[in-house]
């Protein structure tokens, strides 16, 4: 590598979340590349991170950006909490650990929109490369990747009854979410190893940090990109009150997530020029799509049942089975999800019964059509952005949400759950008509924590990055995280972010991507 200044890299990655950890580890495999990784948060020292059952307690803690949405008309003007990890490991340090790749049709839709190379068959070798699947290798699973994946060996008895109830209403039993079929009854695959959460930093980054060509800059907040003409040269950071600049020759890669990446672009004058002007930022590069196309999965808390006997505590993370339900035949992606949670869960609108006395069937729809935006509230980078997911704006979303409530109630009322069910608490007998049921949904809607889409990949004029993840119209600048998803995948999105970053690392290193699966 020769003698180079400490602030000079080949690749500089902004954000050490799911995508950032994969990129840092894979790019630094090449000893000739000098790789820098910048993270606003600090080391993952909070002891609750490792305990799978304590994940809800991390929300609002010192490792959470603790974003809030603007009031949502579609959910009775409620403001929604949007936790995001601010720590080495990013949101994988506080997520719920479910690993679901998505449906093949999700990725094939990306290809149909011009994102060549990002179809399911293209990504399957990368899903496999990323994992060590506890039950062993197969045509769908790997046994030598950095991320260890387990299946619950001692599932909760309510979860077992839930899966039987699903079969009673017609859901097939399937092996796992990440095999030949996604829809059906199965246990979740979890990112837990030896009883402890495995963050993406544990899986990918920590082992790679032994390399001398990889440097982690934690507690450094990236505030603006340094542009010279159309070339991005580097990034300005704030670290303990000091300004620092780092530079990269072969690429600055934003992996700051669905909120962080567009926010950094906007603060750097890259985005809708007219909108930037109104808050006093002069546009360096007019890119109207930055921050747009925000969408997220909604869940509901929920269809809550009082139990006829004590509900034991979960041995895992309280939610051991997501059931995907198809509306349109097996080649289409499922439109509905019902999750079995062995605790009472609802929103601030209701008082939940005590833990151990009730269980919840959370439900949601998988392909929202409503689109919102991330915008800046101020040119001051300390002010959080305005987050508007525009929940339930589209009638398709409201109708599918109603259908999801119906599916949850059908499962909840099925014979297999009779031994646990004392009575339905929510929505309860009053919510019979469509208007009452919709009003109930507006009160119990909450995020499934899967925002995507704000730096959309595509080939049209409103796309932010091209299919090589390069920011359109600029040089030496890339985005690689959940923000580039053109549209959301059926399941929780973390697995797809990992596969995206795995393939991106090959493209950035100039390596031929793995051959698509047949
Ligand atoms: C509570 C919760 C539960 C979830 N449960 C699941 C689940 O069970 N399964 C699943 O698949 N997904 C789940 N998710 C979602 C999943 O974890 C995320 O979608 C995924 O981690 C996103 O990866 P990312 O790389 O895009 O962003 P992140 O992992 O969020 O990483 C972004 C990183 O960039 C850093 N950063 C941001 N801005 C800056 C800046 N200006 N300067 C420096 N650093 C910056 C952040 O601190 C963070 O470390 C959950 C998320 C949450 C919050």
pLDDT tens-digit series, residues 395-413: 999 999 999 999 999 999 9
* Domain assignments of the chain as residue spans, ordered by start: 8-509
Which of 90, 224, 447, 478 best tests ligand 1's pocket when mutated (most atoms within 8 Å of CB)?
90
**CA 91 to ligand 1 centroid distance, Å:** 3
Q: H helices within 394-452, ranges in order?
A: 395-412, 434-444
Residue 227 to residue 356: CA distance in whole angstroms: 56
**CA 362 to ligand 1 centroid distance, Å:** 22
Which of 88, 218, 259, 260 best tests ligand 1's pocket when mutated (most atoms within 8 Å of CB)?
260
Q: Does any ligand 1 atom lie closer than 6 A to the CB of residue 15?
A: yes
Q: Report the atom number in ligand 1 closest to the C-alpha of 261.
A: 38
Q: Spell out a b/e string for 28-59, using b for 16 or more CB atoms within 10 Å of the CB, else e.
A: bebeebbbbbbbbbeebebebbbebeebeebe
Residue 438 to residue 75: CA distance in whole angstroms: 10
Q: Does any ligand 1 atom lie closer than 6 A to the CB of residue 58?
A: no
Q: Are 494 and 370 a contacting pair, CB within 8 Å?
A: no
Q: Report the atom number in ligand 1 closest to the C-alpha of 491.
A: 11
Residue 385 to residue 375: CA distance in whole angstroms: 6
Q: Does any ligand 1 atom lie closer than 6 A to the CB of residue 40?
A: yes
Displacement of CA 333 from its chain's centroid (Å): 18
Rg of the chain (C-alpha set): 22
Q: What is the DSSP letter of 475?
A: B
**CA 435 to ligand 1 centroid distance, Å:** 35
Q: Does any ligand 1 atom lie closer than 6 A to the CB of residue 145?
A: no
Q: Does any ligand 1 atom lie closer than 6 A to the CB of residue 97?
A: yes
Which residues make beta-bridge pairs with 364? 337
Q: What angle do CA 214, 37, 8 make, to 5 degrees?
A: 70
Tell which CATH classification among 3.50.50.60, 2.40.50.140, 3.40.50.2300, 3.40.50.300 matches the domain 8-509.
Answer: 3.50.50.60
Give the closest residue (by CA) to ligand 1 atom 11.
494
Q: Does any ligand 1 atom lie closer than 6 A to the CB of residue 96?
A: yes
Q: Does any ligand 1 atom lie closer than 6 A to the CB of residue 199?
A: no
Q: Report the atom number in ligand 1 closest to the C-alpha of 20.
A: 25
Q: Are 337 and 322 a contacting pair, CB within 8 Å?
A: yes
Structure tokens at 58: 């991390």
Q: Report the atom number in ligand 1 closest to the C-alpha of 260.
A: 38
**CA 482 to ligand 1 centroid distance, Å:** 8
Average pLDDT, the chain: 97
Q: Are 437 and 431 a contacting pair, CB within 8 Å?
A: yes
Residue 212 to residue 223: CA distance in whole angstroms: 26
Q: What is the pTM of this model?
A: 0.98
Which of 12, 14, 15 best tests ligand 1's pocket when mutated (most atoms within 8 Å of CB)?
15
* One-letter-per-residue 3-state SS of 278-322: HCCCCCCEECCCCCEEEECCEEECCEEEEECCCCCCCCCCCEEEE
Q: Does any ligand 1 atom lie closer than 6 A to the CB of residue 222?
A: yes
Read out DSSP for 216-248?
Answer: EE-S-EEEEEEEETTEEEEEEEEETTEEEEEEE
Residue 39 to residue 386: CA distance in whole angstroms: 22
**How far is the CA of 149 from the CAs of 50, 98, 264, 267, 317, in angstroms?**
15, 10, 33, 38, 14
Strands 270-271 and 285-286: parallel
Give the closest residue (by CA) to ligand 1 atom 23.
18
Whether 177 is catalytic is: no
Which residues make beta-bridge pairs with 68? 81
Give the closest residue (by CA) to ligand 1 atom 29.
17
Which of 95, 178, 502 best tests ligand 1's pocket when mutated (most atoms within 8 Å of CB)?
95
Which residues make beta-bridge pairs with 299? 446
**CA 369 to ligand 1 centroid distance, Å:** 22
Q: Does any ligand 1 atom lie closer than 6 A to the CB of residue 83?
A: yes
Q: Does any ligand 1 atom lie closer than 6 A to the CB of residue 272?
A: no
**CA 256 to ligand 1 centroid distance, Å:** 8
Q: Does any ligand 1 atom lie closer than 6 A to the CB of residue 321?
A: no
Burial class of 136 by CB neighbour count within 10 A (0 to 12, 13 to 18, 19+):
exposed
Q: What is the pLDDT along the chain (518 residues), one digit of tens a residue?
A: 445 678 999 999 999 999 999 999 999 999 999 999 999 999 999 999 999 999 999 999 999 999 999 999 999 999 999 999 999 999 999 999 999 999 999 999 999 999 999 999 999 999 999 999 999 999 999 999 999 999 999 999 999 999 999 999 999 999 999 999 999 999 999 999 999 999 999 999 999 999 999 999 999 999 999 999 999 999 999 998 899 999 999 999 999 999 999 999 999 999 999 999 999 999 999 999 999 999 999 999 989 999 999 999 999 999 999 999 987 656 689 999 999 999 999 999 999 999 999 999 999 999 999 999 999 999 999 999 999 999 999 999 999 999 999 999 999 999 999 999 999 999 998 888 999 999 999 999 999 999 999 999 999 999 999 999 999 999 999 999 999 999 999 999 999 999 999 999 999 999 999 999 98
**Catalytic residue of the set 267, 318, 367, 450:** 450
Q: At 444, give phi and psi (nearest 5°).
A: -105, 5
């Amino acid at each position: 590598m020769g003698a180079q200044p400490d602030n000079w890299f080949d690749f500089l990655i902004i954000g050490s979340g799911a995508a950032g950890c994969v990129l840092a580890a894979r790019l630094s495999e090449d000893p000739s590349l000098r790789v820098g990784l910048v993270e606003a948060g600090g080391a993952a020292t909070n002891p609750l991170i490792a305990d799978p059952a304590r994940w809800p307690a991390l929300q609002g803690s010192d490792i959470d950006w603790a974003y809030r949405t603007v009031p949502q008309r579609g959910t009775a003007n409620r403001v929604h909490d949007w936790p995001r990890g601010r720590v080495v490991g990013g949101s994988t340090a506080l997520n719920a650990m479910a690993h679901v790749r998505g449906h093949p049709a999700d990725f094939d839709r990306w290809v149909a929109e011009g994102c060549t190379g990002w179809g399911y068959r293209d990504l399957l070798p990368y899903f496999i490369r990323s994992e060590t699947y506890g039950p062993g290798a197969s045509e769908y699973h790997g046994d030598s990747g950095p991320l260890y994946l387990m299946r619950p060996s001692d599932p909760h008895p309510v979860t077992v009854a839930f899966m039987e109830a699903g079969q009673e209403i017609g859901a097939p039993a399937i092996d796992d979410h990440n095999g030949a079929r996604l829809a059906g009854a199965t246990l979740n695959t979890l990112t837990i190893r030896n009883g402890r959460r495995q963050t993406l930093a544990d899986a990918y980054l920590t082992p790679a940090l032994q390399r001398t060509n990889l440097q982690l800059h934690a507690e450094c907040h990236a505030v603006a990109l340094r542009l010279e003409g159309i070339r991005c040269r580097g990034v300005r950071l704030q670290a303990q009150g000091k300004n620092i600049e780092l530079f990269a020759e072969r690429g600055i890669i934003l992996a700051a997530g669905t909120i962080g990446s567009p926010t950094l672009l906007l603060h750097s004058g890259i985005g809708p020029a007219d909108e930037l002007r109104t808050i006093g930022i002069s546009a360096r590069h007019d890119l109207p799509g930055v921050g747009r196309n925000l969408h997220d999965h909604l869940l509901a808390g929920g269809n809550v049942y009082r139990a006829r006997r004590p509900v034991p505590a979960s041995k895992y993370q309280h939610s051991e089975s997501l059931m995907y339900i198809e509306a349109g035949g097996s080649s289409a992606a499922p439109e509905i999800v019902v999750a079995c949670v062995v605790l009472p869960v609802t929103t601030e609108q209701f008082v939940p019964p005590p833990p151990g006395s009730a269980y919840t069937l959370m439900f949601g729809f998988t392909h929202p059509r409503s689109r919102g935006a991330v915008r800046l509230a101020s040119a001051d980078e300390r002010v959080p952005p305005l987050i508007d997911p525009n929940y339930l704006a589209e009638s398709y979303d409201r109708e599918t949400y109603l259908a999801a409530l119906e599916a949850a109630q059908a499962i909840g009322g099925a014979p297999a759950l009779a031994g646990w069910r004392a009575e339905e608490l929510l929505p309860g007998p009053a919510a019979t008509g469509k208007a009452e049921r919709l009003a109930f949904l507006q009160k119990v809607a909450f995020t499934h924590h899967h925002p995507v889409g704000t730096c959309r990949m595509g080939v049209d004029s409103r796309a932010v990055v091209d299919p090589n993840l390069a920011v359109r119209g600029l040089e030496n600048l890339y985005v690689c995280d959940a923000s580039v998803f053109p549209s959301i995948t059926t399941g929780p999105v973390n697995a797809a972010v990992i596969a995206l970053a795995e393939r991106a690392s090959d493209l950035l290193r100039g390596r031929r991507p793995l051959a698509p699966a047949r």
